[in-house]
């Protein structure tokens, strides 16, 4: 019988690779757009990296839309669920709420309230998330932008997903 910690380690092995493979499925998203969500993700992460953001932030930027193909109506929740055990509360909040904050740039074209994000104006993460969308997310639809290739980000993703910070399984993994 396998120890719980060993079993969890086996499950964690290859996690970064599985996440990166899932990210690649975004290549097939939004045909007809100037850039697909995969290119958008690389642009968002490249912009954050070139702006000097830390590695955790850059990986969050890379993966913020990872749920788009399987949960187009709630993709931020999917990305947040994947990242939750591995990132800070601030970065998690940003990923989880970026869809509403990003709406500032296009909701009015859909007949929605572009200021929907104002419901969160008292959050300590409001400005941080608004800045993520303004500087990196909304500007990452440029077909002429030269992003870093995915291979550039692979070591960052591997490091981030190597050790959870917050998980109900941490105790078993440390036993």
pLDDT digits (tens, 9 = 90+) for 46-64: 999 999 999 999 999 999 9
The CA-based angle 151-59-171, given to 5 degrees, is 115
Q: Could you count the other beta carbons within 10 Å of the beta carbon of residue 41?
A: 28
109 pLDDT more than 60: yes
pTM of the predicted protein model: 0.91
In DSSP notation, 130-154 reads HHHIIIIITT---TT--PPPHHHHH
The total number of residues written for the chain in this structure? 175
**Residue 2 banded pLDDT, cuts 50, 70, 90:** low
């Amino acid at each position: 019988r396998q120890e719980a910690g060993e079993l969890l380690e086996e499950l964690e092995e290859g996690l970064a690779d599985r996440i990166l493979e899932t990210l690649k499925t975004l290549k097939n998203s939004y045909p007809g757009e100037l850039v697909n969500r995969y290119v958008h993700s690389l642009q968002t992460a490249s912009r954050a990296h070139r702006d000097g953001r830390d590695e955790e932030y850059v990986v969050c930027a890379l993966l913020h839309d990872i749920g788009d193909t399987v949960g187009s109506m709630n993709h931020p929740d999917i990305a947040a669920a994947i990242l939750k055990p591995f990132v800070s509360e601030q970065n998690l909040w940003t990923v989880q709420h970026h869809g509403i904050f990003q709406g500032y740039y296009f909701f009015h074209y859909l007949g929605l309230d572009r200021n929907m994000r104002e419901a969160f104006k008292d959050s300590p993460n409001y400005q941080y998330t608004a800045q993520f969308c303004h500087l990196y997310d909304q500007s990452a639809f440029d077909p002429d932008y030269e992003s870093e290739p995915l291979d550039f980000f692979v070591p960052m993703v591997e490091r981030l997903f190597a050790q959870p910070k917050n998980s109900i399984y941490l105790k078993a993994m440390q036993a």
